[in-house]
Chain A
């Protein structure tokens, strides 16, 4: 039996006290542990955790910068921003989604067939997001909804800035349009800089000057809770929130004159065609139109699938920018260029009379090349051949020049290569050559360059292709007697903060000094004759002009078989006789002829002869630009309040002669102080 243990109260008290002290030590250690941990978290790692807590509760929301305006030379706004109203819905706050949508359909604000899609969209958002359910309400629709707003909890009208083209389709081929940022766009932009931006320039100036127009987005910090829902009344938490205001985009000033642009577009209305008008002394695009056209607002506010398909499937191709991209044979409008080449190369004497009959007989070949209307020319000098557009004379001229000289000469007028206009999308056209043909065709029989190929180049047929812009550019070079200014739509950028305008210098990218003054006299006189001599191809349309016009008609014969590789001669024959109705009319002109201010190229597709279809259009475009309300030449048609300073020095590309020849000087000097004084000797003031 174990010894009976009896309670020793004093000993037990001491034991207890010792245990309490032991516990006290342990607790002190534990307490120190907790304090040490707090020291680590709240002092050592404080900054780190502050950052994490910030990242938790603060969301940065971008504020889109207002897109810069686009103005014409007179300060008329062609692209602006407009508050637009969307109908938005917050799923959380709508008690009966289907019922609410059904009532909106009844109000005429939604289409019944869109409702199932809408419900799906709404369901895919978080319940506290605002979901746009209808974009771009009209004023009347806003009013209609506002009157019944109390019936629609959780549905509201939300304003936003949208791109707005007040004149709709006016100048859309130059200005371009903005559209929703696509996956493809995302590859080319800094996505961080575009957070909050809904649209991006897609074509034209909107695309080319996207960087300037876009501006810099700002941001605002907002408090969000753990669910990501914005906190409505942040109270004490809201003090630290940061707002960085956006910097609006810069305004872009165009060389376009909207008055002229309107005339050009109204003349093209109902036709398929294009008009490009340039200032020969600086490359300014005065007007650029392509018809049919479309309303860029469709894209700016978000085009629907249906609308887009309709545009794409329209057989008249409204989305096709004919001014930059229609590559067509030039027809006879090329004749002055070839004539200048032949004179400069000494191939032909301008004043030597040549008997040009009904047809040209290619030496060593049995084939006859007829005049287009099978008419008889008679004895021709170069002047008369241009005036009445005698094909036979130019068949011969082309043959005398030979393909090698032609393919070397035409690029002097920027044929076969881009004009480098400051908007994207232009096509280069085509100047054929032996090497081109040798690589173009697969069939060895077609790779050889035939003399016949050269002959029809003389009248701008065959493989040669040009765009309306190229033809206008070439006409401007004729007007400026060989000066080649890079065509440009944008003349200045107005800084959105300072309001100061940075003027862009015109770019002289070529100067054909090798053409003699005598050659210019022959060609310009001949082109004046086109509009003033009774035998001139545009005489009946332009004879009553109050100012002298130098022009040239052309008829482009659509020879689609060429592309398929059929024999050039045959297809020309077929086209030339059977399908004349499908021919495209060209007209190029500059005026006033001896001191030109404007150079125009007009394309009127399927209009038949250039003189009947295209010449009157060119005439009215030039009238709009040159004539005052009294019907007389205006002293200074080229300048508006938003035109650059007169003495802005042009930038001359390397290898280009900056010295004006006497003939260039005299053509420019007689012009009133209109465009910038090209090549001004004094430096541009800072």
Chain B
């Protein structure tokens, strides 16, 4: 009996260590990969309901997740030094592509965001979500921290050029995320508190300026955020219906595929930007809290990994990937619940469409690469 138990246990240990060896060979972090996998699976379940049981939506999203996973696996195997060295080139390519979009981009729904490459529509702004923090981390890698004023000025330029180009498309949400990605790098680099204060002031001024030069629909969204009832069937409609969906879900939700707001089309963009509300309606507070906990775990694990980073570039870039992910989640949750204005930010790993899944998983691929290669560079 005793002998048997021992042998079972040791076999189990061997299996575990076998899985660990596989992960090691793949340069993946187990807990993070599992967290991401659960989030993606959860996303597919919700999407099936939100898309009115559309198998094609499910299939396409599944393919994107697989594609994202492959890219993540590939990036995880890339040596961080290579990543660092290509950062400026990637950034330069990104800016050129954004200029190309401005020149010959494909117009869809009033926005010029896409480049047609063969059969694909490609969004250079997605590339910039990674390229900007990489460029910032690259720039700060060699320099003593915290950065000086001159560094900040240059970093500001590095960030604002793509942000401005993307904002002009117009794609305010992505522009903000790109800006956030860069700013987070600067923040993590140890920005002094008085500088943060000055930047906050500048941000306020920027918002004021932005309001003056905003596109009509952007201003509408802001106004409707501040007062959704001003135009309940127009611009405020998204926010009102989203809050109705979430609020009517209650603690336990109405059940999978039983959310009337989502199933009866009252909730606009329910597979994309407002999928958070679908979860709130069908799975209730428990479903949302569970998802937020999962996201929290992913962010926490990512921050932990990035703190292990061997050099400045790894740490800054890893931290930026983690915190940008959080910003995604916060803005999406905030806009669907009415905490922040509606900006087109998808819920990472759950929302349908676009190259968002691939970009997010690529970021985590880089993060894992930075972590799993730490000994090589030590």
Contact = CB atoms under 8 A, between A and B. Distances in A.
Contacts of B248: 46, 49-50, 52-54
Interface string B113-127: 000000000000000
A253 B206 CA distance: 82
A42 B247 CA distance: 4
Contacts of B338: 37
Contact of A42 (B184, B251, B260, B333): B251
Nearest to B261: A53
Contact of B190 (A7, A15, A38, A42): A15
B326 A27 contact: yes
Interface string B247-261: 111110001011011
Contacts of B203: none
Contact of A38 (B143, B280, B303, B319): B280
A224 B265 CA distance: 9
Nearest to A57: B260
A57 B145 contact: no
B170 to A, nearest CB: 26
A237 B289 contact: no
Contact of A50 (B247, B289, B300): B247
Interface residues of B, number: 54
Interface in B249-287: 249-251, 255, 257-258, 260-261, 263-266, 280-281, 284-285
Nearest to A23: B323
Q: In the complex, which range does the number of interface residues on chain A fall in? A: 35 or more
A7 B245 CA distance: 52
A49 B299 contact: no
B188 interface: yes
A42 B249 contact: yes
A54 to B, nearest CB: 8
Nearest to B267: A226
B261 A56 contact: yes
A42 B285 contact: yes
A11 B292 CA distance: 33
Nearest to B315: A16
Given A15-B190, A37-B339, A38-B246, A43 B251 contact: yes
Contact of B260 (A5, A8, A43, A53): A53
Contacts of A46: 247-248, 250-251
A122 B248 CA distance: 37
Nearest to A22: B187
A235 interface: yes
Interface in B284-304: 284-285, 288-289, 292, 296, 299-300, 303
Given A12-B190, A46-B247, A237-B263, A38 B144 contact: no
A6 B246 CA distance: 53
A38 B280 CA distance: 9
B372 interface: no
Interface stretch (A28-36, A134-142, A565-573): A28-36
A223 B299 CA distance: 41
Contacts of B266: 53, 56-57, 225-226
Nearest to A52: B244
A34 B292 contact: yes
B51 interface: no
A7 to B, nearest CB: 5
B146 interface: yes
Contacts of A34: 292, 330, 333-334, 337, 339
A322 to B, nearest CB: 57
A23 B144 CA distance: 21
A574 interface: no
Contacts of A35: 289, 292
A31 to B, nearest CB: 6
Contact of B188 (A20, A30, A231): A20
A42 B244 contact: no
Nearest to A37: B337
Contacts of B326: 27, 30
A226 B264 contact: yes
Contacts of B356: none
Nearest to B242: A41
B351 interface: no
Most buried by B among A13, A23, A42, A227: A42
Nearest to A51: B248
Contacts of A20: 188, 303, 306-307, 319
Given A30-B330, A35-B292, A7 B144 contact: yes
A30 B280 CA distance: 18
A19 to B, nearest CB: 5
B243 interface: yes
Interface in B171-201: 184, 187-190
Interface in A321-345: none
A249 B337 CA distance: 50
B198 to A, nearest CB: 17
Interface string A225-253: 11100010001110000000000000000
B62 to A, nearest CB: 24
Contact of A53 (B142, B245, B316): B245
Given A35-B289, A223-B264, A56 B244 contact: yes
Nearest to B293: A31
B224 interface: no
Contact of B285 (A11, A19, A43, A58): A43
Contacts of B369: none
Nearest to A44: B247
B312 interface: yes
B222 to A, nearest CB: 19
Contacts of B299: 27
10 contacts: A6-B144, A15-B145, A19-B188, A20-B188, A20-B306, A23-B319, A34-B330, A41-B337, A53-B244, A237-B263
Question: 8 closest pairs, A vs B, by CB?
Answer: A49-B247, A53-B248, A236-B258, A15-B190, A226-B265, A57-B260, A5-B144, A225-B264
Interface of B: 142-146, 184, 187-190, 241, 243-251, 255, 257-258, 260-261, 263-266, 280-281, 284-285, 288-289, 292, 296, 299-300, 303, 306-307, 312, 315-316, 319, 323, 326, 330, 333-334, 337-339
Given A7-B144, A56-B266, A223-B260, 6 more contacts: A8-B144, A16-B315, A30-B330, A42-B288, A46-B247, A235-B257
